[in-house]
Amino acid sequence: MTKLNPVLIAGPTASGKSAFALALAERLDGTVINADAMQVYRELRVLTARPSDEDERRAPHRLYGHVPGGEAYSAARYADEARDAISQVQGAGRIPIIVGGTGLYFKALIEGLSPMPAIPEEIRARWRQAAADEGPAALHRILAERDPEMAARLRPSDPQRLTRALEVLEATGRSLAVWQTLPGEPVVAVQDGHAIVVAPDREEMRRRTDARFDGMMAAGAADEVKALLQLGLDADLPVMRALGVKPLSNFVTGRISAEEAAEIAKAETRQYAKRQMTWLRRNMIAWKWTSRKEMESLAAETCDIIQSTP
């Protein structure tokens, strides 16, 4: 290990992992690097609980709010940008502290993603136009005829993934399923860093998710969603599927009350947190797990280990 190796901090939404990462960054002259798929989007600072201006004054932050909602940000792009950010942070003599709740982003970092082929622009444009003209259900039928295995993995209502599967099949003659079996190159070696999961108990997680959404509403989450809707973005873009966007969209357009929107959003968030915990238990069993009560002692322990490293 070296002093500048990354610290990885995962956890479900509203677990307190971002506060933990910030505390470490302050103590260690670290830089916080995002690993949350929704916090990359520019338009949703409040609703995705992105770091505040005050947080960013306390320590440098990278890969937050740098992507317009009209773009479909991918795990492959994240891996490339995270690799660059980690290198730059280390080059500046700081410790990368990577924090988030998106399992696929952590897998991209520690396992690598399968290499994907370059797609000629004319093929890409043709399938995008087909998606716009014929709709995703028609694309799913085409894919089912040509590549049943890949079609079985994808929802008929997911135009982006269907388009990707068809363009890869046409450009390479091989199923996307085949490409996805190829080994990738890891960005971070877990044994060279510190890997931590912040895991509150279920009742605490419920209280925290509910209280956080109330705070978001008070901070203007509904206005944020109203501004997002005014952009006229495709409903299938990832930013439009962020937690809370759909119920708050229904509120700002007069379909439901603020109270109904809040209850729906809170329920969705609790379900999402449960799914995150299930994924973490399956995939990060070897990481150091901590509760909120133990975070301070673990932070001190982690700092001691890093500061004593040559």
Q: State pLDDT tens for residues 214-231.
A: 999 999 999 999 999 999
Percent of the chain scoring above 90 in pLDDT: 76
Quick one: average pLDDT of 72-100?
A: 95
Question: Who's near 206: CB < 8 A, 6+ residues apart?
Answer: 270
Q: Which amino acid is at 248?
A: L
Task: Tell me the fold of 7-113+184-307.
Answer: Rossmann fold (3.40.50)
Of the listed ranges 33-42, 236-245, 300-309, the one predicted with least confidence: 300-309
> Between helices 245-252 and 221-229, what is the axis angle to 10°?
80
Mean pLDDT of 17-46: 96
221 vs 292, which has greater pLDDT? Answer: 221
Boundaries of every domain in the chain: 7-113+184-307, 121-179
Predicted local confidence at residue 2, as pLDDT: 65
pLDDT of residue 192: 57
pLDDT at 184: 83
Contact in structure between 153 and 130 (CB atoms under 8 Å) = no
Residue-wise pLDDT for 99-142, tens only, equals: 999 999 999 999 998 888 889 989 989 999 999 899 999 999 99
List C-alpha distances in Å: 44 to 48, 51, 69, 227, 309: 6, 11, 9, 10, 38
Quick one: pLDDT at residue 257?
Answer: 97
Q: Mean pLDDT, the chain, as a whole number?
A: 92
Whole-number pLDDT of residue 3: 72
Q: Is the pLDDT of residue 190 over 80?
A: no
Domain at 121-179, CATH from 1.10.8.60, 1.10.20.140, 3.50.30.30, 1.10.645.10? 1.10.20.140
pLDDT of residue 229: 97
Please tell me the predicted confidence (pLDDT) of residue 59.
97
Instruction: Please report the pLDDT score of residue 296 as a whole number.
Output: 76
pTM for the predicted model, two decimal places = 0.84
Given a contact cutoff of 8 angstroms between Cβ atoms, the answer to whether 124 and 58 are in contact is no
**293 confidence band (pLDDT: 50, 70, 90):** confident
